[in-house]
Structure 1
Amino acid sequence: MFMRIDHIGIACRDLEEKIAFFSETFELTVVAREVNEEQGVKEAMLHIADGEGGGSYIQLLEPLSEDSPVGKFLAKRGEGVHHVAFGVRDVTETMAKINEKGVRLLDQHPRHGSMGSEIAFLHPKDVGGMLTELVQAAKR
């Protein structure tokens, strides 16, 4: 069902500061930046490596407001891992399979994700407390 870990989402208060840290410390390269109004974040994707089915990344997330999901996360838990995203071949098919197994979906339909991907989130209470994202990479 899962092809790889697509990315680890990390909530941060200062996107530029975290980009500098990850770039300098771990020699990662920013491959995409965008503002996602729907999700209330500014984000940067830093490339780790390529593998079967696509690349793996660190996704840095700065909230656009304190009342956005990432803003609320930062207020409650501080900076750190926000979610884990798994690469899948077909996000719609994977959502259906997972839902049939009793895991609740936070999204009923895929939505726009980073770098043109299609994404959906699973309910953290059904996945051991971990916010889990499914990612179907954009066709290249």
Structure 2
Amino acid sequence: MITKIEHIAIVVKDMEESILFYSEVFGFQVRLRGENPNREMAFLYLGTQPDTEIELIREIEPISEYTRSGIVNHLAFTVEDIDQSIQHFESKGINFISSVPQPTLEGGRMILFNGPNDELLQLVERINA
């Protein structure tokens, strides 16, 4: 079901400072940057490992306990078919936070759930998977 680690999300206070840190200190490059009404996001990758990313998240209008999940906000896994994966994981007792997948910044779909230690986990179906 899971094909790879998709990304690790980090909640940041200052997007510009964080992008500069990860790019200048560690050599990451920005693949995608954008926002929705609640969050500004940037996806960064290493040229030597472009399939696993860091997602930087800056809250614009906090509306939930999303940022209370910790500085490292969530661990995301890539799946090929999110609907099939939801059915599979529901059969294993997983309860998803929302009833349907939500759109991603780049047009894919994602859904969140909690692990056994209340860690926030995410399944992502990329449009170019």
Aligned residues: 127
Cα RMSD after superposing both structures:
1.8
Give the % identical residues: 27
- The answer for unaligned runs of 5 or more in structure 1 is none
Amino acid paired to 2:28: L
Amino acid paired to 2:40: K
Cα distance in 1, alignment partners of residues 82 and 63 from structure 2: 28
Match of 1:134 among 120, 123, 126: 123
Q: Which residue of 2 aligns with 1:82?
A: 73
Give the superposition deviation at 1:107. Answer: 1.8
Secondary structure of the corresponding residue to residue 106 of structure 2: helix
Please give the residue correspondences for 1:48-87 in structure 2 after superposition, counting only pairs within 5 Å: 48=46, 49-50=49-50, 55-70=51-66, 72-73=67-68, 77=70, 80-87=71-78
Cα distance in 1, alignment partners of residues 27 and 43 from structure 2: 13
Q: Which residue of 2 aligns with 1:36?
A: 36
Cα distance in 2, alignment partners of residues 67 and 94 from structure 1: 28
TM-score normalised by length of structure 2 = 0.89
Moved >6 Å (runs of 4+): none
Match of 1:45 among 37, 43, 46: 43
Higher strand share: 2
- The answer for unaligned runs of 5 or more in structure 2 is none
Give the superposition deviation at 1:68. Answer: 4.3
Cα distance in 1, alignment partners of residues 56 and 78 from structure 2: 18
1:17 maps to 2:21: no
Amino acid paired to 1:56: T
Higher helix share: 1
1:96 maps to 2:87: yes
TM-score normalised by length of structure 1 = 0.82
